[in-house]
A and B are shown apart, each in its own frame.
Chain A
Amino acid sequence: MNARWHEQIQRCMTGDATPEEIIALQQALKDDAQLRALYLDYLNLDAGLMAAAESMTIAGSETGRTAAATRPAARQPSHHWRWIAAAAACAALVALALLPAHRDASSASTDSSPRASSRVQPDFTATFASTQGAIAQLSIKPASPLPAWMSPTAALLDQPGLSQ
């Protein structure tokens, strides 16, 4: 594959391509299946690097994400991040198990409401928020800050004792 395309694709994926370069790449991608495969491989690599950096940030969160990423003895990505992600997923599921019970207790008086389906969105928002905090710190952000009780896993992660 022409070395020029390696550079063009990378410029596009880092947001540095000019409009003219994007138009040229778009046309070339439409015409050439091999180039599309290369393009997708590059973006897949980008996705993998984003995940690896994020996992490393989580692993080194006790000293701050930038410091963790730049200090000489920064944690190596290896396979640790997978274990961390798995542990975080388990924590999120525990949080899930706790959430409905808490909600049911706090809203028992409204359980018989015919508008029970209206609870679907808050359930999702709260649980997803805790999942976010735990599973690889998803960059999806809830629309507004949630009370600590709605996000037990996130609250746990925020405890000062754990951040030392």
Chain B
Amino acid sequence: MSSLHNQHHDQFLRLFAEHEPALRAFTRLLLPAREDVAGVMQEVAVTLWQKFGEYDAARDFRKWGFGIVRFKVLAHVRDQARDRHVFDDELVNRLADDAMAMDQQHEAQREALDQCLQKLPEAQRQMVLAAYTKGTRMDELAAGRGQTAMSLYKMLQRIRQALLECVRRTISQEELT
């Protein structure tokens, strides 16, 4: 009994460790607010474990997990809708359908992002990664660089757009070769 339980435990952790980055990214795609991702992912992780007894090993764990993410995001969005404007269920479901269809493409883009970050000038790479580091305050980052917060936001927007064009171009080139 104990051995069987341990196997179950082990199997779950292996699958979760393998697919956690994709589940986290999928959660991000459905939630406009970055700061909501951690809380929803916590709910997702607990539910995945609680329902793991119902999981059919013949099924794709990632797709099964995506279903739970969708369910949790919808619950979160309904809860948040009382206090602030968020996307409605119809749009969340539509985004989830599209995101599932684009899963392989998005994974390839996240892989290509490494290369694209390397192509950025050192100062820009440092800045964008600093902006994404937890606990970073944008006004402090801007002040440290001798910039206004507004100019930093604008610069980050341009860098993100450049990175997006880079990853799209990289994927297209890889598809051609």
Contact = CB atoms under 8 A, between A and B. Distances in A.
Chain A: interface size category: 35 or more
B167 interface: yes
B34 A78 contact: no
Secondary structure class of chain A's binding surface, majority of residues: helix
Contacts of B33: 15
A151 interface: no
B113 interface: yes
Contacts of B128: 49
Contacts of B35: 15
A44 interface: yes
Contacts, number: 193
Contact of A44 (B90, B106, B125): B106
Secondary structure class of chain B's binding surface, majority of residues: helix
A77 B129 contact: yes
Contacts of A14: 34, 153
Interface in A96-130: 96-97, 100, 104, 111, 116, 120-121, 123-124, 127-128
B168 A49 contact: no
B45 A69 contact: no
B113 A52 contact: yes
B135 interface: yes
A50 interface: yes
Interface residues of B, number: 68
A131 B6 CA distance: 16
A127 B13 CA distance: 8
Interface stretch (B55-63, B65-73, B94-102): B94-102
B134 A139 contact: yes
Contacts of A52: 113-114, 117, 129, 132
B25 A47 contact: yes
Contacts of A56: 129, 133
26 contacts: A10-B161, A13-B32, A22-B86, A22-B87, A30-B91, A40-B98, A40-B106, A41-B168, A42-B160, A44-B29, A45-B109, A53-B134, A69-B136, A70-B144, A76-B118, A77-B114, A77-B125, A92-B13, A97-B10, A100-B2, A111-B2, A120-B50, A131-B16, A131-B17, A135-B20, A141-B42
Interface of A: 6-7, 10, 12-16, 19, 22-23, 26, 29-30, 33, 36-37, 39-54, 56-57, 65-66, 68-70, 72, 74, 76-79, 89, 92-93, 96-97, 100, 104, 111, 116, 120-121, 123-124, 127-128, 131, 135-136, 138-141
